[in-house]
Amino acid sequence: MSDLNEVGDRDNWTCWLCDTAVDPDSSVNSDRGPSVDSYTVAKTKKSTTVVERLAHRQCNTMKGKIAPVVPWSPDLLVVDPSPIVATVERLKNKGGREIIARCPDLDDANAASDWLLDRLSRFAPDTRFATQINPGGGQYMLMLTLD
Ligand SMILES: [Zn+2]
């Protein structure tokens, strides 16, 4: 278990689940206080590694009850957005590509694509993603794939 300050500094005091700031000076017992979220990931079939990320205590606690919630930005105009965490996990395990959201016009699709790639660079820094925007049925489908 690493020191909380070490993990916080490395993650720029940003919660890896909700992507908002964590106050390093707030109490570790408060809902918005800092905590270290540690989880095991498979590196290969035989070896695993423990990853430690900074999270609000509340976000970390919620995660045990339901899959981690990584919200889409409310500023985006997206229709039927897929759950980000579940989609990322499937792509990491199986590859391929998935429709992650639909947008009414191309500008919205580009904005959603930029936001998503930026978000994923912090959420899953070890994996490189790419997006594709495909028109169809009078809207634009935002596809996510591994780079
Ligand atoms: Zn949070």
Q: How far is the CA of 109 from the centre of ligand 1 (A)?
A: 26
Amino acid 137: pLDDT:
83
C-alpha torsion angle, residues 114, 118, 120, 126 (rounded to 10): 130
Whole-number Å distance, alpha carbon 121 to ligand 1 midpoint, is 16
Give residue 110 CA to ligand 1 midpoint distance, Å. 26
Q: Are 130 and 147 in contact (CB under 8 A)?
A: yes
CA of 63 to the centre of ligand 1 (A): 10
Average pLDDT, the chain: 88
Q: Which tokens go with 92? A: 């990491």
Task: Please name the residue that has the structure tokens 């199986």.
Answer: 94
> What is the reported pTM?
0.74
The larger pLDDT score, comparing residue 66 to residue 16, is at 16
Region 60-69: mean pLDDT is: 65
Alpha-carbon span 68 to 17, nearest angstrom: 7
Length of the chain: 147
Q: If DSSP codes are grouped into helix, strand and coil, which group holds residue 136?
A: strand
Residues 6+ apart with CB under 8 A from 20: 14, 56
Please tell me the distance between residue 8's alpha carbon and the centre of ligand 1 in angstroms: 13
Predicted confidence (pLDDT) at residue 39 exceeds the cutoff of 80? no
Distance 123 CA to ligand 1 centre (A): 12
Q: pLDDT above 90 covers what percent of the chain?
A: 55
Kindly state the average pLDDT of the residues 24-41. 88
Q: Please report which helix (H) or strand (E) contains residue 141, including its range.
A: strand 139-146
